[in-house]
Chain A
């Protein structure tokens, strides 16, 4: 992004660390499973079935993965739209998280599609079905992935020393940033709208016309949590000074977003009179309370300004909020879902989990590669904010 050359620098250092090795092995294992998937069909490795046609790969890799990827989205929102230049040091790392979150979600989609070789039909104007929420999600995610790469391109161009190309990008950046805010707003809410058409198949604890709003706010929340968590991790992992003051301010915004989500969620449940279901002792009710707890506890942790500046507290609340967002999505898509026509069960198989782990491993390996070789992290001496 137009962060400007010179503010960011490659971390350098050895690439083949232990973390990198583990991440690579995870990826290789996943590749073996994927060979089986393409040779024998989805059923050869995954437990998805005609009652639960969407499993881990959709819910975790796509729905949850892109929510993690909202780091780039919320930072663009803050830095550029709200003209808060001082969040700059966090921008490129956030963008990178978004880049991988979305690119690998795209990879997961191809893996999961039952007729992947006809994927291009999504881009055929004659076949596009405008009423389909799925079309909007598919096209938006695709477009946003491209935008993310373009937004990140200056970091690569800077590294390659292509100053002129970099300046061209900077000039068009305002449009990329605007698209980078619009597209996630559209599809992150649509990931909620996707479930509206399931009607009674989703428990009233989650089914709601507010789903698009709840999913959007929750994605913003997870974006903030990713930024905060990533910043703390990068500073301890790479032994760099923490952008403490800055993070304190970001986490304050994060706390407000969490509050907004909780209020919306509770008001929606009470207006629809769905609360009694939370006390009927079912698995669904239990998972509902897990989801609630994971949102309330970090809010309490972040309530005091003094605590908000301590890295352990920051990290804990970010991690809890991420867990909360994850559980909310698993609840809405799987736990709260009762398939029509028959008794069905779903729990991910080991190979299915291995693929998700492998994609995560690839994400970590690429992240390490990028921050070490490209100007992503903020130069420590370049800020006295």
Chain B
């Protein structure tokens, strides 16, 4: 125990030093476990904010596909009869949401100064997902092949640790239901095979594209490589044209992109990627983050201390030996303690 604890302290101090206040990139600690690889057939979404027109067709389609009720903001209750869905955040009734960034006069799209931009939020299907790492009963799982992060309500005990720990604020719990459950986007894996995720299916501009993460990344890099204003052919639906059938793409002018594919490296990388014309932190995404997932740190500590329960077993044996010796020493009537030893037999007795 003492040895372990001491080694652990050493590692932790060194790690804390290297991590720095802002948790800058790079491995932070000797305790850290490596980040997993992208699964072989990883699929995901590519959301291009510059192509999004904010029509919210995907929000409505997602609700349809998942059988979820519209959310009406409190202020609108008197007049909004439920025909207009107006969620403010992701919730147990909203797995997908379009939010808007606005600044100043909002003259121009995809510009930080006096501009505006859209952002789609749903599960990122992380390569090293916190929600899976923290779940005590394996209710959140990552498919080893396609990497989709799913949830099984029959396992979940409702501790809401996943709600707390997801760095993107994705899993949500139905607080107003006595038998509430966790809800999150599962990339529409409940739909029949061969059907596109609902949000992709309805997207008119190809702003939300489905496909293998590796291909989506190449597509994103192609767009970043184009000069602003250059004509680009933009696909729709499945980038491979397989799931949901072949679709017509369209031509668009390449935007003035931020030179980064969001999700490529953040927190160990995610299977859903994003492109944007305004800095990603303005869209409410965490940017000042390490390039490894937080589970790498937390599980590292856990493994160091509890791997195979060896350390606890050794410590327990040591503790038991010491207490046993002490107890026996006293039973033998060894003097020396202020109070006389316990178990001196038949003296005393109950009241």
Contacts and interface: CB of A to CB of B under 8 A. Distances in A.
B134 A197 contact: yes
A301 B166 CA distance: 43
Interface string B85-106: 0001111100000000000000
Given A7-B339, A178-B319, A274 B21 contact: yes
Contacts of B157: 113-116, 118-119, 121-122
A173 B319 CA distance: 12
A127 to B, nearest CB: 5
B176 A44 contact: yes
B180 interface: yes
- Chain B CB within 10 A, most for which of A119, A186, A189, A212: A212
A54 to B, nearest CB: 6
Interface in B7-33: 8-9, 12-13, 15-17, 19-23, 28-29, 31
A181 B319 contact: yes
B197 interface: no
- Classify the secondary structure of B's interface with A: loop
A182 B21 contact: no
A3 B8 CA distance: 35
Interface string B176-189: 11111110000000
A134 B159 CA distance: 9
Contacts of A189: 305
Nearest to A177: B323
B169 A85 contact: no
Given A272-B21, A342-B169, A41 B339 contact: no
B102 to A, nearest CB: 15
A364 interface: no
B246 to A, nearest CB: 35
B84 interface: no
B16 A271 contact: yes
Contact of B168 (A3, A89, A134, A340): A340
B323 A198 contact: no
A182 B312 contact: yes
A382 B331 CA distance: 19
A122 B158 CA distance: 11
Given A39-B178, A118-B156, A209-B29, A53 B306 contact: no
B302 A133 contact: yes
B262 interface: no
A178 B320 contact: yes
A83 B305 CA distance: 26
A175 interface: yes
A199 interface: yes
Nearest to A204: B21
- Chain B CB within 10 A, most for which of A42, A54, A339, A375: A42
A174 interface: yes
Given A7-B339, A7-B348, A41-B174, A114 B295 contact: no
Contact of A173 (B299, B327, B329): B327
Interface residues of A, number: 96
A6 interface: yes
Given A39-B178, A174-B324, A115 B136 contact: no
Interface in A265-292: 267-268, 271-274, 277
A49 interface: yes
Given A41-B175, A85-B337, A198-B164, A5 B348 contact: yes
A124 B31 CA distance: 29
Interface residues of B, number: 98
Contacts of B13: 210, 267-268, 271
Contact of B153 (A4, A85, A115, A136): A115
Contacts of B338: 85-86, 383, 385
A178 B323 contact: yes
A174 B323 contact: yes
Interface in B141-180: 153-161, 163-170, 172-180
A41 B178 CA distance: 4
A5 to B, nearest CB: 5
Contacts of B164: 53-54, 198
B30 to A, nearest CB: 10
Contacts of B288: 200
A366 to B, nearest CB: 21
B343 interface: yes
A305 interface: no
A190 B344 CA distance: 39
Nearest to A277: B21
Given A2-B343, A85-B338, A199-B167, A212 B301 contact: yes
A258 interface: no
A244 interface: no
A132 B134 contact: yes
Interface in A229-245: none
B236 interface: no
B301 A10 contact: no
B315 interface: yes
Interface string B121-155: 10000000010011111110000000000000111
A385 B17 CA distance: 47
B286 A197 contact: no
B284 interface: yes
B21 A127 contact: no
A81 to B, nearest CB: 6
A341 B121 contact: yes
Contacts of B289: 199-200
A44 B90 CA distance: 20
A134 B135 contact: yes
Given A4-B342, A41-B176, A178-B316, A209 B15 contact: yes
Given A41-B176, A199-B23, A133 B134 contact: yes
13 contacts: A43-B175, A44-B178, A114-B158, A115-B180, A178-B320, A178-B323, A194-B161, A197-B130, A199-B297, A200-B167, A200-B286, A213-B12, A340-B166
Q: Which A-B residue pairs are the 5 nearest by beta carbons?
A: A6-B348, A114-B158, A341-B169, A85-B337, A43-B175
